[in-house]
Structure 1
Amino acid sequence: MRRRDEDEFTEFAALTMPRLRRTAYLMCGDWHRAEDAAQDALVSVYRRWNRIERGDGLLGYAHRCVVNAVLTQARRPWRRERLDDITDESTAPLRDAVGAVDDRLLVVRALAALPPSQRACVVLRHYADLSLEQTAEVLGVGIGGVKSQTSRGLARLRELLDQTVRSTP
C-alpha cells in the first residue's frame, strides 16, 4: 500500500472507529465485543482499501463489515451468552440520579432481545442514521426487507420497553 493510501486509511479509521464501535455495541450489548467487531471491520476495510470507492460507499462498506463481524461473533459457541444471562442482582447497576444510564441499559437489553436482522435494521436506521437504501445495501437485502424488519423490530422494542416500565417500581 502506498504511503498516501496508508495515511488516508489511518485518517478514516481514526474518524470512524468511535461510530463503528457504538454501532457494534448497540448490536451486541458488550463494549469488549463491540471493540473487537469494530477492529475486525477496519481490518476488512484495510484489506480492500485499494479497491473501495472513496465516496459515500466507504462508510456503508465499513458498516457492512461491522454488522458482519457482530453477527459472526454471535455465531461462535463461546459468544452465545446473552446480556440477560450474565447480569444478576450482584452485578446490576445502581440507579443514577437522572436515570440516563438506566434508560440506556434498558434500551441495550431490549435491543439484545431482538433477532439479529431486526436489531441490525433498527440500529443502522435509527442510530447510524442510514437511509433505507444504504441499510439495504449494507445488509444485502431489499428495501422492503429493511422496512419490514425495522417495523417489526421497533414494535418489539416498544413491547419490551413497555413491559419494563410497567414492572419497574
Structure 2
Amino acid sequence: MPRAETEEQEQFREYFTARHDAVRRTAYVLCGDWHWADDLTQAAFIRLATGWRTVRDRGALDAFVRTCLVRAYLSDVKRVWRRRERSVAEPPDVAGTGNAAERADGRMTFEAALRKLPPRQRAVLLCRYYQDLDVAETAATLGCSQGTVKSQAARGLAKLKELLEGQTTVLGGRR
C-alpha cells in the first residue's frame, strides 16, 4: 500500500511544479546548454529538498533556489571536464522573415556573446539584469562582496558591448 504524502512533501511538490520551468530557463541563460541546465536545475532542487524542513520563510524559496543554482553553476565551471566538453553546436540559421525572425536572430547573437563571458561575469549579469536583483542581493547570491559585483558587472557589460558592436541589439532592433 503506497504511503500517504505528507504535508511537507505536498508543499515541496507544488513549489517544484510551479517553479521548475522558470529555474530551468534561468539555468539555460546561465550556461547556454539545455542538458547542463537540466543538471543545474536538478542540483538546485535537490539542495532545496534536503533542506525543505528547515526553511522557515517560504517567501525566500526563490532566492534560496537561485543561490543554489548559481553556486552549482560556478562550482561546475571549475571542473576540468566541463571546460573541455561542448555538447551543442552553433545554433542553426533562423528560417523566416520579419520581426519574429529578427528578434530570434538578436537573441541568438546575444546568447552567443553572453557565452563568451567568463562564468563569474555571466552569473553577475544574470542576477543583476535577468533576475533583476540589486547589488546587495547579487552579492549574497554569489557569496562575494558588493564591490566584486559592481566590477564584474562593469567588465561584463563592457565586454558584451564590445562583442555586440555592429550587431543588431536584442532590444529594439537598433544597429
The reply to whether TM is greater than 0.5 is yes
- The equivalent of 1:65 in structure 2 is 68
4+ aligned runs moved over 4 Å, structure 1? none
Shift of 1:11: 1.5
The one of the two structures with greater contact order (alpha-carbon pairs below 8 A, sep at least 6) is: 1
Shift of 1:112: 0.8
CA distance in 2, matches of 1:164, 1:81: 28
% identical aligned pairs: 36
8 Å Cα contact 1:95/1:102 also seen in 2: no
1:45 and 2:63 correspond: no
Q: Which is worse superposed, 92-101 or 126-135?
A: 92-101
**How many residues are aligned here?**
161
- The equivalent of 1:125 in structure 2 is 128
Please report the TM-score for the alignment, with normalisation by the length of structure 1: 0.83
CA distance in 1, matches of 2:128, 2:32: 17
Note the alpha carbon deviations across 1:83-114, whole angstroms, 9 max, x for none: 6x833xxx632354231221111111111111
8 Å Cα contact 2:74/2:120 also seen in 1: no
Q: Tell me the amino acid that sits aligned with residue 15 of structure 1.
A: A
8 Å Cα contact 1:9/1:49 also seen in 2: yes
- The equivalent of 1:75 in structure 2 is 78
Alignment of 1:64-103 (within 5 A): 64-81=67-84, 86-87=89-90, 92-97=92-97, 98=99, 99-103=102-106
SS in structure 2 at match of 1:53: coil
CA distance in 1, matches of 2:53, 2:131: 25
Please report the TM-score for the alignment, with normalisation by the length of structure 2: 0.81
**Which structure's CA Rg is the greater one?**
2
Flag structure 1 segments of 5+ consecutive residues without an equivalent. none
Task: Sort the Cα spacing of 1:156 and 1:11 in 2 relative to 1 into closer, same or farther, 3 A.
Answer: same
Q: Whose helix proportion is higher, 1 or 2?
A: 1
Task: Sort the Cα spacing of 1:54 and 1:69 in 2 relative to 1 into closer, same or farther, 3 A.
Answer: same
